Amino acid sequence: MNGPGTESENGGNMNGNMSEWMLAQHGDYTDTRLASLRTLIGSGLPTYKYHFVPLEEFLTRESEMNAIYDRYGGHVVLRACPLRSGLRRQTIIDKTYAAARQDLDGKPVDAYIAVLNEYDPASFCGVIISDGRQAMVEMARSPNLEDLCHGKITPRSARFSDQGIYHRPRMQYLNTDDVSIRSLMWNAMKSVVEDGLPRKGYYEFVYSSRDKRLRFIDYDPEVTG
């Protein structure tokens, strides 16, 4: 895809407050995380490789689980996701397999599934919200998406639309002239664009600190602002 026309301006967000949308998403995060991951994986967006393992197998298949941990140099995010309502998700970050297994010992094995992926702290995090015609992007030089969503850090913002000259896709960068930041924002934005228009939905993404790759970590096609 060719790069968009660009424009810098000082301005507000697309038809509303971006932080309100992000907070609404995170307010309903726990019970929907497993379904959200499956939606994300099925979307075709660049993301981590996720391993879904029934909790009983995670606790008992030491050799197989150690192989997963070894694949990522021991740096793993583990989520124990509930399979029924009324139970809380537990997240274990960058612990050994033995320590993680000890933390989860005692949970009802038929009520949880373990979801594992590489732990690679982010250097940038961001959010995209799209109504299918235009989209807002907010991104910050921070590993902490929660801080971005709760307004604790000031993001760089951009608006994407197809209303440029001759209806070419265009990015309006609202508060940054940094070419490298603009490039990262555009790279994330073009990942959700199909046939010149952004796919509807709410997206969360990061750029990893180790390999600098873009990875989406959440996607909800039903949220459009």
Q: How far apart are CA 215 and CA 77, in angstroms?
A: 15
Assess contact for 154 and 177: CB atoms under 8 A.
no
What would be the CATH architecture of the domain defined by 33-118? 2-Layer Sandwich (3.30)
The whole-chain average pLDDT of the chain stands at 85
Q: What is the pLDDT of residues 60-109, one digit of tens each?
A: 999 999 999 999 999 999 999 999 888 999 999 999 999 999 999 999 99
Write out the residue limits of the CATH 3.30.470 domain(s) in the chain: 5-28+122-220
Q: How far apart are CA 176 and CA 172, in angstroms?
A: 10
Fold of 5-28+122-220: D-amino Acid Aminotransferase; Chain A, domain 1 (3.30.470)
Assess contact for 125 and 192: CB atoms under 8 A.
no
- Provide the pLDDT for residue 26: 43
Q: What is the pLDDT of residues 180-215, one digit of tens each?
A: 999 999 999 999 998 888 999 999 999 998 889 999
Assess contact for 205 and 125: CB atoms under 8 A.
yes
Q: How far apart are CA 167 and CA 94, in angstroms?
A: 46
Pairing of strands 5-8, 170-173: parallel
